[in-house]
Every structure is written in C-alpha cells, then in structure tokens.
Chains A and B, each alone.
Chain A
Amino acid sequence: MKTKHLTILAMYTTIALTIFVVESLLPTLTPLPGIKLGLANIVTLWLLIYATKRDALAVLLMRIVLASLLAGQMISFAYSLIGGLFCFLAMAALFPLLGRKYIVFISIAGALFHNLGQIVTAVAILRSLSILAYLPVLTISGITAGAFTGFCAHFASKKLRKDQVWPL
C-alpha cells in the first residue's frame, strides 16, 4: 500500500513536471518577470481535492526541486520555492474553508500569493522596494492565470469518473 502511494505521487510529480516543462516552452506574453499561467498548479489543486495536503505539498516540493534541476539555477530555485510555498499555504488554508466547489477562487488566491511571495523574494534579494512597481500587473495576471488554472482543475474533476482518478 505504501509503495503504491509513493508510486502514484511520483506519477503526479511527473505530470506536474511535464506540464511545467511544456509551459516553459510557450513564448512569454510580456517581458515582466513572474507573469505565467502556472498550469502545474492544476496538479496541486487536484491533490487538494482527491488526496491530502501532505501529498499535495510533497508533489509540489518535488516538482520545484526537479524543475530547478532542469532549468538549472540556484537563484530561480529560491523564487519558485518561496512562491510555491506562499501559494500552497494560501490554498491549503482556504481549501477546508471553501471546499472543492470554490476551487477557482482557491486557485486565484494561490496565484496571487505565489506572485506576492516572488515579489517579497525579489525585494529581499535586490534590496530595493522599486520592484513593487510590478505589483498591479502581477495582481491582474495572477487573477487571470489563477482563474484559468482553477477552471482547468474544475472541469477536469467534473469530466473524470471516480474510477479514472488514481486512488490515494
């Protein structure tokens, strides 16, 4: 049972990593740092619905570590790790309050906190508050991208039958 659990989490990590790599191949819409769809967050949302917070966090952390190994820079690891943790904490706190019906809003909150975490990291690393000028743009992009990712998770969980979801 434990091996099965581990294997399924590894499969979810593979899905998240694949989504992440495919998304990073898409051309960026604007040259501002931090604007992206964050489609890999679908997997985190999915695991919050169908598994536990612990499983979701494990897959998220593995995805960030492996993605940083693929992209290959320590500094971008710090940005994704802190962004990812902010995002996860917001979503894990909201999920028990709102439930899966509100998955789109949970996703939006996650995206906003992800961007907030990255800006806080940028302020700490660059030691300058002027990077806060990106905050309005990143809020708009966070709401848009979070809503899109949330709807992806929402419709995916509506379409799949229970026997099509890996049991955890």
Chain B
Amino acid sequence: MHIMKAQNPRGIRNLSFQAYARSTNKKKPGMLLLTALTLLLLGISLAALFFQNSRKAPAGTACVYQDGKLLCEIDLSAVKEPYTFVVTSRDGGHNTIRVERGAIGIVDADCPDKLCQKMGMLKTSAYPVSCLPHKLLIKISAAGGSGLDAVAQ
C-alpha cells in the first residue's frame, strides 16, 4: 500500500492534469533559453540601474513641468529659507512642493496614490519626481553642470 502511494501520489488526480504536471517538470532547451534571456534582461537592467546611480550628482536646478509646459525653474543651490508652494492641476487637484537648499519634493497632494508624496525630498539628479494623476513632473539636473546633463544643456 505504501509503495503504491509512493509510486502514484497523484492517483486521484485527473489524467490530463497529471500529464500536465509531469510535462511541466521536464526541462527542455526552450526553458533554458528563455531563462537565460530573462536573466540577461535582468542583468542589463541592473547594470543600467548601477550606471544611473553612479551618475547621480547633488541637485542643482529643478524644473517644474505641468502638462509638458515649464511652470518654473528653481536654482536649488541659491535657496536661503525653505518654502512651499502649491501647484493646482487643470482638473482641480493640488500638489504642495517644498523647496530647500539642495532638495525638492512634493510634501502634500490630493492624488489617489500619493506616490509623489512618498518619494519624499530628492537631493540628487538620479530620478525625476512625478505625479502621474496630476500630470506634474519635477526634473532635477546636477549641480555645477557635470556629466551628460551639461552636454544636453
């Protein structure tokens, strides 16, 4: 009885499903190729991520865009006193932006996910801050205009 159970643990299962379960355990060359492809893509992304992090520099200027239009440009190195201002979107939503010396971030918003708020204060040029529901984007460029950003400018 015990031997039979060990030989056929899925005895009660439907046959076609059993066949499916067996076939999924078989390693085929296609499986290896796809795994390699996935790992390659993962490697490329990790490399890109490390490249991004190595290229980040202290925040210099911040440009606030709404609907793709430039609202204002702030020189973060010249900020003496921290201040906040409110940007209202076309459909009535608002984002409160806080500006400090060398840092900018969204501190309050009425968008549903509040991801922009959770990103906190940004001190480097690695990522832009975005509030997708309110079509708001804050681009941060590096201080002193170094690296690729300087070339782009």
Residues of A within 8 A of B (CB): 28, 31-33, 71-73, 75-76, 79, 98, 100-102, 105, 108, 112, 122, 125-128, 130-131, 133-137, 139-140, 143, 147, 154, 157-158, 160-163
Contact = CB atoms under 8 A, between A and B. Distances in A.
Interface in B80-104: none
Nearest to A79: B132
A105 B137 contact: no
Given A101-B23, A126-B68, A133 B127 contact: yes
Interface stretch (B1-9, B38-46, B71-79): B38-46
Contact of B127 (A75, A112, A134): A134
A129 B126 CA distance: 14
Given A130-B139, A131-B137, A158-B20, A76 B130 contact: no
B115 A33 contact: yes
B67 to A, nearest CB: 7
B130 A131 contact: yes
Interface in B32-52: 34, 38, 41-42, 44-46, 48-49, 52
A33 B132 contact: yes
B24 A158 contact: yes
Contact of A140 (B46, B112, B119, B135): B46
Contacts of B42: 139-140, 143
Given A73-B111, A75-B132, A161-B14, 15 more contacts: A32-B119, A33-B113, A33-B130, A75-B133, A76-B133, A79-B132, A126-B130, A126-B137, A133-B52, A139-B44, A158-B17, A158-B24, A160-B17, A161-B12, A163-B14
